[in-house]
Amino acid sequence: MGIKLEQVGYCYQKNSPFEKRALTDVNVTFETGSYTAVIGHTGSGKSTLVQHLNALLLPTEGKITLFDREMIAGVKQKKLRDIRRRVGIVFQFPEAQLFEETVLKDIIFGPLNFGATKEEAEKRAREVIQEVGLSEAILERSPFELSGGQKRRVAIAGVLAMDPEVLVLDEPTAGLDPHGRSEIMEMFYDLHEQKNLTTILVTHSMEDAARYAEKIVLMKDGTVNQIGEPREIFAESEKLLNLGLLVPEVVRFQRDFERKFNVKLSKICLNMDELLHEILPFLGKDASGL
């Protein structure tokens, strides 16, 4: 079943003069092995939602089922270490969390904290450093001597070293240039496929949501506004625009083409190959040379 949220609500500083509601009546399931994108305007509750997925936050209302554990609002929870090992979160600018004197010590910190022996943790570090596209030679260097992109990969390696079953990515490409963003997102997708991870991506990039996700959860005002496949979500481009969200560039191009030529393509296209295939019949016999 993976992770299931039922009527989940959350208030920061509940029952205080500073109480602030962040989530209301959230119902969503993240199936094992799935890739889900969570989208929504700033302040819609995305980051609060994903912090419930490894019990960093506990619901003030409702129930969350994490694997075989039930987290019920008002019920005190103990022994959360296993959940936090099984659900790894990569936050925005994860490199800011680096603190040890060498890359190796930074990566093994998590596994050691969760009970691995030093030998096991170091073996795992040598594996994950290659999984994030870096060489073992970097393990003896100070993380503070690395480039920004290398630091981010080291921080991600620290999460992967705990061998999570669920990988939560909270705006993992923030601050990267387009090339760096593409490399990191492809790396995450390869890991998702190779390890059969349950991947949950919080993103403002509709291109990334369209390219990688099997399902999209649209958040608005602290609750789930819509759940659907990317084609279904992006078919309602006007709705997204009204929520302050863009649609992928290829969808915008498709809508412009349909309006200009007064036609309706057979489906919402999520990449340029699909779009070209759909519009060629409308371009006449000379289109075969494109």
pLDDT at 68: 86
Helix/strand/coil (H, E, C) string of the chain? CCEEEEEEEEEECCCCCCCEEEEEEEEEEECCCCEEEEEECCCCCHHHHHHCCCCCCCCCEEEEEECCEEEECCCCCCCCHHHHHHEEEECCCHHHHCCCCCHHHHHHHHHHHCCCCHHHHHHHHHHHHHHCCCCHHHHHCCHHHCCHHHHHHHHHHHHHCCCCCEEEEECCCCCCCHHHHHHHHHHHHHHHHHHCCEEEEECCCHHHHHHHCCEEEEEECCEEEEEECHHHHHHCHHHHHHCCCCCCHHHHHHHHHHHHHCCCCCCCCCCHHHHHHHHHHHCCHHHHHC
Quick one: which of 234, 275, 277, 283 has its CA closest to 253? 275
In which residue are the tokens 């191009």 written?
Answer: 253
Quick one: which of 90, 222, 218, 211 has its CA closest to 158? 90
Q: Domains of the chain, with CATH numbers?
A: 3-247 (3.40.50.300)
Q: pTM of the prediction?
A: 0.91
What's the angle, vertex CA 165, arms to CA 160 and CA 170, rounded to 5?
65
In which residue are the tokens 């190796």 written?
Answer: 104
Structure tokens at 282: 């409308």
Phi, psi (5° rounding) for residue 131? -65, -30
Q: What is the pLDDT along the chain (290 residues), one digit of tens a residue?
A: 689 999 999 999 988 999 999 999 999 999 999 999 999 999 999 999 999 999 999 999 999 999 889 999 999 988 898 899 999 999 888 888 888 999 999 999 999 998 899 999 999 999 999 999 999 999 999 999 998 889 999 999 999 999 999 999 999 998 888 998 999 999 999 999 999 999 999 999 999 999 999 999 999 999 999 999 999 999 998 899 888 898 999 999 999 999 999 999 999 999 999 999 999 888 764 444 44
In which residue are the tokens 């060629």 written?
Answer: 280
pLDDT at 7: 98
pLDDT at 195: 93
Which residues, 6 or more positions from 275, have their beta carbon under 8 angstroms from its beta carbon?
250, 253, 254, 269
